[in-house]
């Protein structure tokens, strides 16, 4: 049986990715049940959760406690002014208070767990590679017979992965179709027509597109689930990116006279200028440039995944023509070029080379494993080794 380690296609099974995009992605919830807990084996056990809560000393805002939609005040479950070297740090968890409050029905929420747990980081990177959008992961631990949140909707698409216990979910028709972050509602909303009323067990999955109202509460068992959020780029983002280029055109920098007493009534001259600028916007806008800008932003803001660089300082990592190399799993990358240089972008880094090396960089990024001698392009053996060595030093490649 395949597991989450095989990527989102396995997490979605038996639903195919094509069917998911055609029927569910931005349009309808998806419920997958009856697969058994083995599909999430090695992802996050109850022991792992206990370690995260009670041994890693998390600090606010990495975690919080909520009950019935209300976040508890920090002084109820954190410790202020903990001595730390020559200073002090606030926000550390008060373990006894946290455990007591959870016993009273509070939900423990740990956000962006991909920064704290290696397996969850791997899960997040897998989703980012397949869906090409930020995929932060939150952990929710709710005691028996409790509810953390009132009916609400999210402005991101959410995969719920039930890893321990059971939880009853009710999903209602959308409050807003495909809402943007600016349309978020901070608090509860009135549910509409009920679409799903299900109880998730370990191994189950619930997908909730943005805008769909939902509420969940535990049964007679403690529940733990991971929430993988997908924050897709929208056409609004594309047009926002295009609008960012307008100041480069002097015509768009011309002053506009307002009529503050209102109502505004545009003059014929203003109407003509507006129509002319609309035409200029259409003619001067480059859709592919906007997509490129969004792609660069996505790659540059991914969580770094360059494990092994510390070990490289302690061992000989010299690359020869026969050295076998590979790209670590989970790296999100991009290759582009300007008039003089080719660039490899990955996880906040940019590696530059002469523009003639762009095909070599693309080949390296798409090939694994390989020998340095196999790197294509008009490169001498010395340059092949130098390029590979540089990418090893920067963490894009590792010795296989």
* Number of domains composing the chain: 3
Host H or E run for residue 380: none
Which has more confidence, 309 or 214? 214
Element (H, E) at 23: helix 17-23
Contacts for 164 with CB less than 8 Å, ≥ 6 apart: 45, 46, 49, 202, 222, 223, 224, 225
Q: How far apart are CA 32 and CA 206, in angstroms?
A: 6
Distances (CA, A) of 353 to 107, 197, 230, 349: 50, 56, 33, 13
Q: What is the mean pLDDT of residues 171-200?
A: 94
Does residue 303 surpass a pLDDT of 70?
yes
Q: Mind listing the pLDDT tens digit for each residue in 62-111? A: 899 999 889 999 999 998 888 888 888 888 888 899 999 999 999 999 99
The helix or strand, by DSSP H or E, that contains position 109, with its residue range, turns out to be strand 107-110
pLDDT value at position 364?
Answer: 95
Arithmetic mean of pLDDT, 259-271: 90
**Same structural domain for residues 393 and 324?**
yes
Q: Are residues 179 and 75 in the same domain?
A: yes
Q: Are residues 81 and 120 in the same domain?
A: yes
Residue 325 near residue 319, CB atoms below 8 Å: yes
Which pair of tokens denotes residue 140?
A: 């929710």
User: Which one-letter DSSP state was computed for residue 107?
Assistant: E
Give the percent of the chain with pLDDT over 70: 97
CATH classification at residue 50: 2.60.120.650
pLDDT reading at 314 higher than 90: no
253, 277, 298: which is the final residue of a domain?
A: 298
The CA distance from 226 to 164, in Å, is: 10
Query: In the Cβ-directed half-sphere of 332, how many Cα atoms lie within 13 Å?
Result: 26
- Positive or negative torsion for Cα 122, 124, 129, 134: negative
Provide φ and ψ at 34, rounded to 5°.
85, 15
**What DSSP string runs through 314-376?**
TS-----TT-EEEPPTT--EEEEE-SSEEEEEETTEEEEEEGGGHHHHHHHHH--SEEGGG--
**What pLDDT is recorded for position 368?**
82
For 147, residues 6+ apart whose C-beta sits below 8 A from its C-beta are 67, 68, 105, 107, 215, 216, 217, 218
Per-residue confidence (pLDDT) for residue 367, from 0 to 100? 87
324 and 360 assigned to the same domain: yes
End of a domain among 271, 298, 325?
298
Q: Are residues 77 and 152 in the same domain?
A: yes
- Are 97 and 214 contained in the same domain? yes
Q: How far from each other are the two terminal CA atoms of the chain, in whole angstroms? A: 27
| Same domain flag for 360 and 327 | yes
Based on the domain organization, do 146 and 251 belong to the same domain?
Answer: no
pLDDT of residue 310: 67
| Residues 6+ away with beta carbon under 8 Å from 254 | 273
Asked if the structure places residue 304 within a domain, the reply is: no
C-alpha distance from residue 181 to each of 60, 226, 236, 253 (Å): 23, 21, 11, 28
Distance CA 51, CA 49 (A): 5
Domain of 259 in residue numbering reads as 235-298
Residue 214, domain member (yes or no)? yes
Per residue in 215-233, is it b (16+ CB within 10 Å) or e — as a string? bbbbeeebbbbbbbbbbbb
Residue 13 domain flag: yes
What's the average model confidence in pLDDT over 172-182?
Answer: 95
- Which of 38, 43, 46 is closest to 117 using CA atoms? 43
Residues 149 and 38 grouped into a single domain? yes
Output the pLDDT for position 72.
94
> How many angstroms separate the CA atoms of 122 and 226, rounded?
13
Last residue of one domain, picked from the residues 203, 230, 257: 230
Average pLDDT, rounded, for the chain: 91
14 and 142 part of one domain: yes
- Averaged over 222-230, what is the pLDDT? 96
Structure tokens at 80: 């202020």
Cβ-contact 123, 43 below 8 angstroms: yes
pLDDT band at 128 (very low <50, low <70, confident <90, very high): very high
Q: Could you read off the pLDDT of 20-68 as tens digits, one per residue?
A: 999 999 999 999 999 999 999 999 999 999 888 877 778 888 899 999 8
Same domain flag for 222 and 81: yes
DSSP 27: T
Please say if the pLDDT value at position 156 is more than 80. yes
Residues 354 and 292 in one domain: no
* Range with lowest mean pLDDT among 23-32, 208-217, 309-318, 348-357: 309-318
Distance (Å, whole) CA 94 – CA 168:
29
pLDDT in the model for residue 85: 84
CATH of the domain at 368: 3.90.930.40
Please tell me the pTM assigned to this model: 0.89
Answer yes or no: is 12 within a domain: yes
* Nearest residue to 162 via CA among 251, 254, 37: 37
Residue 317, pLDDT > 70, answer yes
């Amino acid at each position: 049986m395949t597991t989450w380690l095989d990527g989102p296609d396995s997490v979605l099974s038996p639903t195919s990715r094509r069917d998911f995009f055609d029927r569910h992605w931005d349009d309808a919830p998806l419920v997958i049940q009856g697969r058994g807990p083995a599909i999430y084996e090695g992802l996050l056990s109850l022991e792992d959760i206990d370690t995260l809560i009670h041994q890693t000393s998390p600090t606010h805002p990495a975690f919080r406690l909520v009950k019935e939609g209300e976040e508890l005040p920090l002084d109820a479950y954190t410790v202020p002014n903990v001595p730390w070297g020559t200073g002090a740090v606030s926000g550390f968890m008060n373990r006894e208070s946290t455990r007591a409050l959870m016993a009273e029905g509070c939900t423990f929420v740990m956000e962006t767990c991909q920064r704290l747990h290696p397996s969850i980081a791997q899960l997040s990177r897998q989703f980012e590679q397949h869906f090409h959008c930020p995929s932060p992961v939150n952990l929710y631990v709710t005691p028996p017979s409790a509810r953390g949140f009132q009916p609400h909707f999210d402005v991101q698409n959410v995969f719920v992965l039930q890893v321990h216990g059971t939880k009853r979910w009710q999903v209602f028709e959308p409050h807003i179709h495909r809402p943007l972050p600016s349309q978020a509602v901070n608090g509860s909303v009135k549910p509409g027509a009920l679409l799903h009323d299900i109880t998730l067990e370990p191994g189950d999955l619930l997908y909730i597109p943005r805008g769909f109202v939902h509420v969940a509460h535990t049964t007679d068992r403690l529940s733990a689930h991971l929430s993988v959020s997908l924050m897709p780029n929208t056409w609004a983002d594309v047009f926002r990116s295009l609008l960012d280029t307008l100041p480069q055109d002097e015509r768009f920098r011309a002053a506009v006279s307002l009529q503050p007493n209102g109502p505004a009534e545009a003059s014929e001259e203003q109407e003509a200028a507006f129509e002319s600028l609309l035409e200029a916007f259409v003619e001067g806008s480059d859709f592919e440039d906007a997509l490129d800008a969004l792609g660069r932003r996505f790659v540059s803001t991914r969580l770094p995944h360059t494990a092994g660089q510390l070990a490289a300082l302690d061992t000989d990592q010299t690359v020869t023509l026969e050295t076998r190399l590979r790209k670590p799993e989970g790296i999100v990358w991009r290759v582009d070029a300007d008039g003089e240089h080719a660039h490899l972008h990955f996880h906040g880094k940019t590696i530059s080379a002469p523009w003639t090396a762009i095909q070599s960089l693309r080949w390296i990024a798409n090939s694994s494993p390989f020998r340095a001698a196999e790197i294509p392009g008009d490169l001498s053996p010395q340059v092949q080794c130098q390029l590979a060595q540089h990418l090893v030093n920067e963490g894009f490649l590792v010795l296989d």
